Amino acid sequence: MCVGMSQAILKKFSQKLRKERLRCNLSQETLAQKAKLSRNFIGMLERGERNVTISTLEDIAQALKVEPWELLRF
């Protein structure tokens, strides 16, 4: 996978994550608490600065009450 494509996927994921968080009317802080992550990490994910692991994706999906694949559906 080329770097440009990788960055494009990160951007799409970060936009989807933010959209879902706002749809649930959650702050970054509240989502982080529910997913047992730091608010800083959620912010970095939403800005596309960090990549997500499968286990973290599952934790975030559970906190948002969606299936993990829904966060990857762009």
Q: Report the chain (74 residues): mean pLDDT per 10 consecutive residues.
A: 76 97 98 98 97 97 97 92
How many Å is the maximal CA-CA distance in the chain?
35
- pLDDT value at residue 3: 62
Q: Which two tokens stand for residue 58?
A: 């599952």
CA separation, residue 10 to residues 18, 25, 31, 74 (Å): 12, 22, 19, 11
In this structure, whether the domain defined by 3-72 belongs to CATH 1.10.600.10 is answered with: no
